Amino acid sequence: MSFESLGLEADLVRAVRDQGYNEPTPVQREAIPAVLAGRDLLAGAQTGTGKTAAFALPVLQGLAASSQHGKFRPVRALVLTPTRELAAQVGESFRIYGRHLDLRATVIFGGVGINPQIAALRRGVDVVVATPGRLLDHAGQHTVDLSKVEVLVLDEADRMLDMGFLRDIRRILALLPARRQNLLFSATYAKEIRQLADKLLDNPAQVQVAPRNATAERVDQLVFPLDKRRKREFLSHMIGQRNWRQVLVFTRTKHGANRLAQQLERDGLSATAIHGNKSQGARTRALHGFKNGSVRVLVATDIAARGLDIDQLPHVVNYELPNVPEDYVHRIGRTGRAGREGQAVSLVCAEEHDYLAGIEKLLKRELPREVVAGYEPEAPLARVAANRGRTAGNRPQPGQARRRRGRGRASRAAP
């Protein structure tokens, strides 16, 4: 199957060829013809599936077909994203895929000066990629006119709702013309997403693709049961001993991410935290360092990591399990590298056993556990093990664990 056969024009096909894409991904195969036909779309697809091109290519083609090259260029396509990083990436994709077309895209997000954005909007742009808050600032100051928008894309809609953007989205919808095409992309379908989709979409084409590493056929998953207070030491030990070079570590909170990155630095590992409280510059630098290898460990919250173009990693670590099981699937979907297996490990303390049970229920399977000598938990993952029989054949006997605790790293292990 080729990009041409989906109905894309030569200029767009050339641009994707320049990127080295040989054939469309599943979400592109299904979404592009539907969007070109002018239909609304409900797409279940997460980062890494090629979803950005799935909407950017047909949107660009639609805009090019009715191009308004006059002096005044109204905003005709609006893409909303939850995070600045995702907005920047999506904006960049529009620029790359649209390089042979006479169309302009700009990116609008908070945390950076507003004046360059105002200047870009004043010059006239066809596509705006924005986070909701800053877009509303512009609307409030009348520096953006959304009354000519023909296509609206909600990218990672589930995450936008998680981040509390529903009210902002509603306020933005009120600024758009009633007649328009609506595309909604979401990795998950909670009730709120269905409600939003019902309200927003008119007889949508529906596309559902599995995450690229659909619950981990290619991802080797492992649970390390251990005590909470020993997690940091264990992580440093594993990274060093197994010589992991590029590790994405997930924590639940921003504060936890900062603290862990600092502690890892003290352990001699180059580590940086990435989360919503960091300035745009700091986040970009951290991501850059991680990609080029100068930062060995990137510690991230789910929200900060979502939408980042950092996948195909060899190692993902759940330092803390997410309380939403779907987030686990998103996290581990980052691993797996060009056909090789990736590894996703979870450091799980007794307090997290309910989260683990929820994840295993979603995956419909039990994750293998490995207790590492010297790190046996004082409090085993009781309920999970009890519920599921003796899954952890390698779970140490209480006596064994106690004996081992008395040795070696005992100074930290003393109760």
For binding to ligand AMP (CB under 6 A), which residues are involved? 21, 24-25, 28, 47-53, 309
CB of 53 to ligand AMP, least distance (A): 4
- Cα diameter, the chain: 80
Q: Exposed/middle/buried for 126, CB within 10 Å: 0-12, 13-18, 19+?
A: buried
CB of 160 to ligand AMP, least distance (A): 16
Q: To the nearest whole angstrom, how small is the minimum distance from the Cβ of residue 310 to ligand AMP?
A: 10
Minimum gap (Å) between residue 15 Cβ and ligand AMP: 11
Closer of 234 and 290 to ligand AMP (Cβ)? 290
DSSP bridge pairs for 184: 42, 154
Residue 49: CB minimum distance to ligand AMP, A? 5
The least CB distance from residue 309 to ligand AMP, in Å, is: 5
Answer whether 188's CB lies under 8 Å from 210's CB.
no
CA distances from 406 to 59, 64, 334, 403 (A): 64, 71, 38, 5
CA dihedral 372, 368, 328, 214 (to 10 degrees): 140
CB of 5 to ligand AMP, least distance (A): 13
> Which of residues 79 and 193 has its CB atom nearest to ligand AMP in the complex?
79
Please state the separation of Cα 98 from the chain's center in Å: 24
Give the torsion through C-alpha atoms of 50, 200, 177, 6, to 10 deg.
30
- From the number of C-beta atoms within 10 Å of its C-beta (0-12, 13-18, 19+), residue 246 rates as middle
3-state helix, strand, coil in the chain (%, to 5): 45, 15, 40
Q: Are 257 and 299 in contact (CB under 8 A)?
A: yes
Nearer to ligand AMP, 52 or 188 (CB): 52
Q: How far apart are CA 60 and CA 102, in angstroms?
A: 10
Q: Which is nearer to ligand AMP, 156 or 360 (CB)?
A: 156
Q: Nearest CA to 305 among 320, 285, 325, 287?
A: 287
Q: Which is nearer to ligand AMP, 85 or 126 (CB)?
A: 85
Is the Cβ of residue 88 or residue 264 nearer to ligand AMP in the bound state? 88
**Which C-beta is closer to ligand AMP: that of 25 or that of 221?**
25
Strand order in the sheet with 181-186: 105-108, 127-130, 77-80, 151-154, 181-186, 41-44, 205-208
Cβ-based nearer residue to ligand AMP, 55 or 375: 55
| Two tokens, residue 295 | 């930062």
* CB closer to ligand AMP, 100 vs 409: 100
Q: How far is the CB of 136 from ligand AMP (least distance, A)?
A: 25
The token pair that represents 54 in the structure block: 């799935």
Q: How far is CA 169 from CA 12, 145, 161, 240, in A?
A: 30, 16, 9, 45
Give the other-Cβ count within 10 Å of 74's Cβ: 15
Nearer to ligand AMP, 101 or 347 (CB): 101
**DSSP string computed for 287-324:** HHHHHHTS--EEEE-HHHHTT-S--SBSEEEESS--SS
Instruction: Kindly state the smallest distance separating residue 188's Cβ from ligand AMP, in Å.
Output: 15
Minimum separation from the CB atom of position 405 to ligand AMP (A): 45
